[in-house]
Amino acid sequence: MTRPLDGITVVTLEHAIAAPFCTRQLADLGARVIKIERPGSGDFARAYDERVKGLASHFVWTNRSKESLTLDVKHAQARLVLDALLERADVLVQNLAPGAAARLGLSFEALHARHPRLIVCDISGYGDDPANPGPYRDKKAYDLLIQSESGFLSITGTPDDPAKAGCSIADIAAGMYAYSNILAALIQRGRTGQGSHIDVSMLESMVEWMNFPLYYAFDGAAPPPRAGAAHATIFPYGPFPAGDGKHVMLGLQNEREWLAFCSGVLQRPELASDERFASNSRRVANRQALREVIGEVFGALTAEQLIDRLDQAQIANAHINDMHDVWAHPQLQARGRWAEVGSPAGPLPALLPPGRVDAWDPRMDAVPALGQHSDAILAELGWNDSAIGALRRDGAI
């Protein structure tokens, strides 16, 4: 079965999350991803924790189906290896510190004349375009810092305290925009024969995701308030406690659903014509009064009884699952969404990539050990055993 990116080779100088997440998507589609890591320590995400049979959770998530080549890119012999790799590569991805790739001679401008078909993707916190660096180019840009700079924290949390997202959404956003731009650049190269330069900023990726609250606060209007897990501008929409101590998430979107909620769930149809609650804006304005009414009814029901009423009334709802619930989620199990991949610690479960396609199966190969493929890659590039041994003794690999 042919995959869309079979035959495409990606060389990546990556660490942490944004670039590895991008290149793992490319590997899922069949690309050969050669991950260059620092000898001895590798991608520093390898040491974030030991939660997956001694391996780091972030690293297992973002690095399956890749080949690991250890290479000290500052070593005198490293350039020969990099040049040999780039002769065969279709894409170079890097998320080194701003300006570091250029100092290594790996900028698009430096490479394009020798490798005109090469696509170069730079991922950084604030953008790494030397022609227009901006005042933030050299600032450190970790995920939480970008969540803060992008305004995400200003609309997330409770009225008293901002809260970050529980996963690395700024890294994920940048990684996915890098991935989609690389796919577009490959299509463009198929038409023009020329590679292109992609400059992805974590800040710009997150601000794109912030466009609803930006427009909501357009022209000086008040921004959406922080509303915890509830919706800031629609009510009832959010978590509500049931009588057994569990919470249920529910959401109403229109007046038809409000009528069904009053009659079928609350079993108080007269509330539908109560002037305090006759429109969404009035329900938001009288949120606390309506919350008390809902609490009286929900307090007499278990979470499962409440979900049954909501389902019967065709009101959108969800369990508030923890991680253990998600591992055992019946919908994921029923759709066969879990596979198994190899790793240095043995077989591990892995979620299949979102999006079922009938024309190919995603690549689901092992998470690599540090430097696992160094000898094989170098031999493929023309280094013999003696030369590989010399590189290792010199600390180049």
Q: Does domain 237-320 have CATH number 3.30.1540.10?
A: yes
Q: Which of 171, 219, 274, 325 is catalytic?
A: 171
Q: Which two tokens stand for residue 243?
A: 């009588």
Q: How confident is the model at residue 45, as a pLDDT?
A: 95
How far apart (Å, rounded) are the C-alpha atoms in residues 186 and 164? Answer: 35
% of residues, the chain, pLDDT over 90: 91
Whose structure tokens read 């901006």? 134
Q: Is the distance from CB of 313 to CB of 251 less than 8 angstroms? A: no
Residue with tokens 């180049």, as numbered in its chain: 396
CATH class of the domain at 9-209+330-393: alpha beta
Taking each helix axis from N to C end, the angle separating 374-381 and 385-393, rounded to the nearest 10 degrees, works out to 130
What is the spatial distance between Cα 137 and Cα 282, in angstroms, rounded to a whole number? 45
* Cα–Cα distances in angstroms (integers) from residue 214 to residues 115, 135, 207, 284, 337, in the given order: 41, 22, 9, 20, 36
Kindly report the pTM of this predicted structure.
0.91
Residue 171 is among the residues annotated as catalytic for this protein: yes
Residue 270's pLDDT is 94
| 93 DSSP β-pair partners | 12, 121
Angle, to 10 degrees, between the axis of helix 374-381 and the axis of helix 78-88? Answer: 70
What are the domain boundaries of the chain?
9-209+330-393, 237-320
Residue 256 has pLDDT above 90, yes or no: yes
CB 292 within 8 A of CB 301: no
Higher pLDDT, 232 or 395: 395
Residue (of 306, 287, 308) closest to 298 by Cα position: 306
Encoded tokens for 151: 């305004």
Per residue in 360-387, pLDDT (tens digit) is 999 999 999 999 999 999 999 999 999 9
